[in-house]
Structure 1
Amino acid sequence: MALPRRQFITQASAGLAGTLLASLVGSVPGCAPARVAVQGQLRGAGHSLGHLLRTPGKIPPPTRIEEVDTVIIGGGVSGLAARRTLHQLAPERTTLLLELEPATGGNAASGHNARTAYPWGAHYLPLPDTRDTELLTFLQQAGVLTGYDAATGLPVYDETMLCHDPAERLLLHGHWQAGLMPEVGVPAADRAEIDRFLFEMEYLRRATGADGQELFRLPLALCSANDPMQALKKPLQAGAAAMGALTSLPLKQSLFKNHFERTNVSELPQIVNWEMDGGPFITMPQVYTEDQEKGGVFNSNLGMYRIQLSGNDYEQDK
């Protein structure tokens, strides 16, 4: 149905007037919407206090003199950890911790309102590895860890201290992306760098050194000192290790043909170690075997296997 011209102009004018009126409501006295004040503040280092240290005459003279064994300057995470460690190792020694701010904590400081406590920084502790006994002990002393499950042996935490993993997002080029790694509008070179970084992180998460320890583990003192990837990244520095590996390979028998003679099992000492054994044994011999079709060092095995020399149905020298 066609809309008459006069009716169209009337309705359009009314709509435009309503839009203009809505935009002016905030400026008309008595028509402003109710506003809720959100209390907050920006936190950071106290520059005004720090500047007093370099301004002569601004700091009042000391009122007393204290003599202590150790002074720790700074009450951040490192300073607090040092204070706790000193107290554990030498509780009889006196320690003084100095902090410029009204409260300790540094970047890990927290606050508290009428409803709950909250962190001033985004500092969350992932559930620790059960092998990290030092951290678990600290959490138990702090009341975060309340005990251990009798059936599984796993730590039991105060649920009021736990939270879900934060849902991290990234706003890039006007689009929200899940996670902190950019996905949209990333140049190929940057994408390659990100992939290489993620590969390195995954390698550190899974890899172990020659001593069987993880390459990355907290505390860092428990990390392995033998990183096999260093031989690929820095071949010159790993040259000595490579030469050591080459010299440790079994040598061909032909090099020692003038030093060895064939012997028989019956000529070896026949020692019975336990009364219930079926006969003499060599408990921990080094047994070298080769593939019958493909001989050589790289088709061989060297291991320790208990060998029976005689007794029962065993026939010597066969």
Structure 2
Amino acid sequence: MGQKTVTINGMMYDKHTGMPLREERSHNAPQHHTAAQVHSQLQKSRTLNRKYVAKDHAGPVKRPAATHGVSVHKPATAPLVSRSESISRFAKEFNAAPRTQKRPFNDFGPSIHPIVANVEAKRAASVPAVPRHTPSSVLKNEAIDHALAQVKHTAQQKQVKPVKKTARTTRAISFASGSLALLLVGAYFTYLSMPSLSTRVAAAQAGINASYPNYKPTGYSLNGPVAFDQGSVSMKFAANAGPQSYTLSQTRSGWDSSAVLSNYVEPKTGNQYSTSTTNGLTIYTYGNKAAWVNAGILYTISGDAPLSSDQIQRIATSL
């Protein structure tokens, strides 16, 4: 009988059924390794440092002599599928149609040569212009239309008139007039109060309670600034139409009326004085001069102005 089994890779199979029967085991004994071989380490490299060792000069390489062997030629096999060159993916590169490069499109139109353009311009200038004759009816209609347009434009200009802002203008004028009046009144009162302000400033500088008289004789006005010194203030009044003037002085003093008479009036005049009393003030008058005391301030009037006794009293009571 023939062989009924076949062995493949150490496994035995039935030749007819193909079923595995048994596995043939190898009779080669396994290789045993000692403990020293298992725990041994790899030997370290003993190559010299190439940095400090000169390179070897390699000699000419000896090539082995060529031997004439038997060349084995592989038989050429035909492709399993025939490929047609008419199909684009099977076609070769040299069979492809050559690509034509498109020329850039020039967007500029044809131009005329400068010489030709110059000749044509001269020719056109030399041709005389043919006068155009317009019919008289057309000219008449154009003139009528032009005149009507001018009349209409003039009428529109006359109809459109600027709106007069009378109310606003009147209000602005009234406001300006009122402001000017207020300024004038303020300036007038400032002018009237200027001597009083100057007197107050001088009194503050002098350190006394000096005041400006509310009465001054007719035809006299303050001449120059109010003068002051330590403890005294003086102001000069001059005539508006003459050289006459008088000076009103105010000095701090502790005298009473008797002390003024004995210490100031009598040493200057002797017995040439007159005494008048008004509003609790004792006024001593001698010539064009006068003296009196009130609230610790000695008042004196001196100068060449011909003041009457009544004028001196009114000056004294107005302080």
Q: Give the TM-score range, shorter chain.
A: under 0.3
The normalised TM-score by structure 1 is 0.19
Report which of the two has the higher share of strand. 2
If asked which structure has higher relative contact order (CA below 8 Å, sep 6+), I would say 2
Which protein is bigger by CA-based radius of gyration? 2
The normalised TM-score by structure 2 is 0.19
